[in-house]
Amino acid sequence: MDELQEFHEELFNEVSANACSGNDFLQRAFFEAFCEYLDEAGEIEMPEYSYYKDPQGRAINGYYLDENESGDGSLNLFISIYSSLNDISTINKDEIESSFKRIENFFIKSLDDKFYKNMEETSDGYSVANFIYSRQGTLANVNLYLLTDKKLSSRLDAIPPKQSGNVKINYHLWDLTRLYRLISSERVPQDITIDFNSDFGDGIPCLPANLDETEYKAYLAVVPGIVLAKLYERHGARLLERNVRSFLQTKGKINKGIRETILSKPERFFAYNNGITATAESIDLKDGKIQFLTNLQIVNGGQTTASLFSTYKKDKADISRIFVQMKLSVVSQELGDEMIPCISKYANSQNKVNEADFFATHHFHKRMEDFSRRIYAPSVNGQFIQTKWFYERARGQYINGYSYATPAKKNKFQIEYPKSQLFTKTDLAKFEGVWMQLPHIVSKGAQYIFLEYANKVDKLWNENDTQFNEAYYKIAIAKAIVFKATEKLVTNATWYDGGYRANIVAYTLAYIAHKTEEIGKSIDFMKIWNKQAISEGFKNTLKEITKEVHNLLLNNGEMSNIGQFCKRLMCWTAITKIYFEFKSDFLSELISINEFDQILRDGRRIQRIDNGIDAQRKVCDIPKDIWKQLKSFGVSKKLISDEDIKIIDIQIKKGYVSVKQSQQLLLLIDNMKAEGFSAID
C-alpha cells in the first residue's frame, strides 16, 4: 500500500468515526475533517457548514468571509464531493466544472434578494444567501473551493479567474493528492509567481545591496503603489502567509494615518511611510530591473499593503503618484524558515511585535513535545500496552514518524501513538481556550484562538517558565479528553440534527468552567488523566448542558446567522445566563480551587528541579575549548563580566558548576550568540 492510499484510508476512517449516521452526516464529517486540515495549515479559516442543494443546479456546503482592513473582503464558498469509497476514485474535468458551476450559480442567484426570501428562514441556504446579499457591495473577490477525496484523473489546467461585475471569481481545487502533500510537508502553498513585464508592463528598478559572497541576495527597490495594490488584490493574504504578524495585520482596522495620506497627500506617501520588507525565493533581473519573482512574501508592511488596496478599491483613490520603498531579500526556502521570523521581528518599527507572534519557534513547543514523547498515559481497561499522546509541534511530524519505516516499526509507532491521541498546536489552543472562557474566540477559528493562547503562554513563560510542567501537560491532555468526549456526545445526541457542533462544544465547556469557578471548585483533571476518560456523572452533565446551549444558539433572538452569532461576545454573555443546577454526582467529583492550585504548585517545584538539572547537563556537554573561545570572544568585545569569567574558569577546571551558575552561563551564551559568537549551535 503506497502512502497516498494509506492517507486515504486514514481519512476514510476518520470521517466514518466522526459521522453519526446517514449520508448527510457522512458528507458533513468529510467536509469538516477536510477543512480542519486546511484551517490548521493556514490555507483557510474554518468555514461555517451550510448545506444547500436545489433542482436548478445550485449548491453550497460552507462559507466564510475574509475581511480586509477596510471592511471589504473575500467571500469564500465551498462545495465538496465525498466518494465514501475504500479505494481511491478519480475526478474528471466535467465533474470539476459542473461542481464549480453549481456553487457559482448559488452565488450569482444570491445577489437577488428574492432568492433567500423564498427560502425557509431556518434553513442553511437562507442564512448564506441572505449573508451574500447583504454583503455584496463590499466584496472584492469570491473564492470558490471544491474539496474532494478523489484524485485528479490527469493534470488539468487551472480554471482562470473571471470578472462578474465588480467581483473577481477565483477557483480552487483541493483533491486527495493536494491535501496529502499539504499535511505531509511543513511547506504549505503553491508557488506565487509574478511576471512584472507581463502583468504590469515593466519591471521594477532596483539596486543590489549585498556582497557577492553572502548567503542571500538583497535589493532596494521602489514599487508603484498601484502594483502593490493589484498584487494584493490578486493574491490577498497569501502574500503575508510567511509573515508571523499577517493574521493580525489583515484582521485589524485600516490604518487611518495611511489612508489619510493616500487620499489627501499622496505625493508625501513615500516620505511618511516606512515601506515594506519582503522576501522571495528566486529573482530574474534585466537591465537593473526585477522582471520576475517567485514566492514574494511581505514580511513587514502588511498594513501598508492592505491599506493601499482597500483605499484604492473602496475609496476609488488615485494612487498613481504613490510609491513604496521595498527592501527585498532573496533567500532559499530552507534559509527563509530561519531568517523570516527574525526579519519580521527586527524590521517592525511601527508596532511592537510580541514574542508570541513568533510562537512557532517558542521553547514552549519543544517542552510540550518532549513531554509527549516520554510520558506514557496510564493503562486503561486492563490493557498491558501503554500509549502516548503525540504533540505535533511542526506540521507533518506524525506522518513522517512512520512514513519511511518498515511495516513492523510503523505498526509499533501507531500502537504507541494512536491517531486518536494526536493533537496539534491549534488543537491545544482550542482545548485550553474553552477553559480560558473564550468560546467566542474559539468559534472564530483555529488561528484566532491560537494567537490569543500564544500571547498568554508567552507572557506566562517570560514570568516563570516552570508554570509549564508535567502537571500542566497532563491537565492539557485531560482537557483534550473532555473536549473529544463532548464532541462525541453531541454527535450521538437525539436532538442533534447537524451543524454548529464545534460551537456547542466550545460554549458548553466554557460554561462549565465559568460555573465551577463561581462556586470555588475545579474539575479534577488529574483524575481524568489517570482514567483517560470522564465519569458517567460528567457525561450526564454534558448531555444536559449541550442541549441547553444548542437550544439557546438556535433561538438566540439576536441574529439569524447562528454561525456569526457564535463569534460574538454577546453570545458568550447570553450563555453565562443559562440557569443550570449541577447534580450531586457531578459536584462530588469536583475539587477545591486550593487543591487545584496545590497541583500546579507541585508541578512548578518539580519543573524548577528539572530546569536546573537540564542547565547543568547542557553546560557539561560543551567542550572546554568552546568555553575558552567564548571567554576570549567576550573579553575582546568587552561583553563579559569578571564574575562570568570566574564561572567559566571553574567550568573549564572542574567540568561542572552549580545550578545557578549553569543557568548564568546559558544566559551568557545567548547574549554572546546575539553578538555574533557562532561556535555553539
Distance of alpha carbon 370 from alpha carbon 472, whole angstroms: 13
Burial class (CB in 10 A: 0-12, 13-18, 19+), 407: exposed
Q: Give CA torsion, residues 259, 261, 266, 271, to 10 deg.
A: -130
Going from N- to C-terminal start, the domains of the chain cover: 3-183, 193-352, 363-589, 615-674
The closest of 102, 47, 53 to 75, measured between CA atoms, is: 47
How large is the angle between the packed helices 363-374 and 446-463, nearest 10 degrees? Answer: 100
Distance of alpha carbon 417 from alpha carbon 405, whole angstroms: 14
Burial 450-480 (b: 16+ CB within 10 A, else e): bbbbbebbbeebeeebbebbbbbbbbbbbbb
pLDDT, tens digit (0-9, with 9 covering 90-100), for 263-299: 888 888 998 888 898 889 889 999 999 999 998 988 8
- pLDDT(187) > 80: no
Cα–chain-centroid distance for residue 642? 46
Average of per-residue pLDDT across 112-140: 85
pLDDT, tens digit (0-9, with 9 covering 90-100), for 618-666: 889 899 989 998 899 889 888 889 898 999 999 988 888 888 898 888 8
pLDDT, tens digit (0-9, with 9 covering 90-100), for 349-385: 444 444 444 466 688 988 999 999 999 999 887 677 8
Local structure of residue 532 (DSSP, 8 states): T
Show the cell assigned to 389: 499522546
Distance of alpha carbon 435 from alpha carbon 572, whole angstroms: 13
Q: What is the CATH class of 3-183?
A: alpha beta
Look at residue 357 in the predicted model and tell me its pLDDT: 43
Average pLDDT of the residues of the chain: 84
Show the cell assigned to 471: 502537571
Distance of alpha carbon 398 from alpha carbon 37, whole angstroms: 14
Higher pLDDT, 482 or 491: 482
Distances (CA, A) of 85 to 37, 98, 149, 173, 254: 20, 21, 9, 20, 47
Provide the sign of the torsion angle of the four alpha carbons 616, 621, 625, 627, taken in this order. negative
